[in-house]
Amino acid sequence: MSPSAGRLLLEVQRGLESLYALDPEVPVTDFVIPPAEATSYPGGGSRTLVCESADGLSLGVVIDDGVCEDLARRDPRTQLDRANLGSFCVVTEEVSHFLLLLFRARWDRPVSQLELELQAEVDKYLTAAFFLSLQNEGAVSTRLRTLLFRHYRLVSGVSPERAERYRTASGLAERYCGWLESSFLRRGARLGALRREARRFYRMGQREKLEVIAEI
């Protein structure tokens, strides 16, 4: 992994920890496994690896070489746009999984694959919105939600079960993030209230999150 990609991973991690008022964890970059060394692990491409045992939880994060190369060419900290949004979201998704798995493990609470995907979709939106607001004098276009939740492409070879889970998580996140946008980012940004809501949602279990979204 290039130094610039490593710095981006860490910046996304610290940003999410600050947003959700989480205790700082060890750097996610300490858990990165180069793709060439991850061939014996399940799956392919960018992914978060989890192994539970009597000794505790073991994690590893794999970021595809193509994602790192793309972000090195187009640093989203300088300019986040349609050209590098996909790779930026890949990084954010894996960092999101890493943090939520650690957070739940520390409190000895379970987390489902659907909830991991749902929270990652919300984290993509909020992290991208933060980067864009810094680059555009506080403005966040409504096109962001369209790009994230309507114009995505699933990686080739994904199983039907996983594809359906991702589509479900994306639809739920679009509804929730649309509500966040209309409630806290339009007609005068209410960032303090947005942070409080995001922290409340983060600490809910899956059933509670689904109930909140159903009522929006």
Domain range enclosing 130: 3-215
pTM of the predicted model over 0.85 = yes
Give the SS3 label for residue 77.
coil
Helix ranges (DSSP H) in the chain: 3-19, 65-73, 82-106, 113-135, 143-149, 160-180, 191-202, 206-215
Closest CA to 45 of 61, 30, 29, 57: 61
Query: What pLDDT was estimated at residue 193?
Result: 94
For the chain, what is the domain count? 1
Query: What pLDDT was estimated at residue 198?
Result: 98
Q: What is the pLDDT of residues 38-86, one digit of tens each?
A: 998 888 899 999 988 777 789 999 999 999 999 999 999 999 999 999 9
Q: What is the pLDDT of residues 127-160, one digit of tens each?
A: 999 999 889 877 777 889 999 999 887 777 788 8
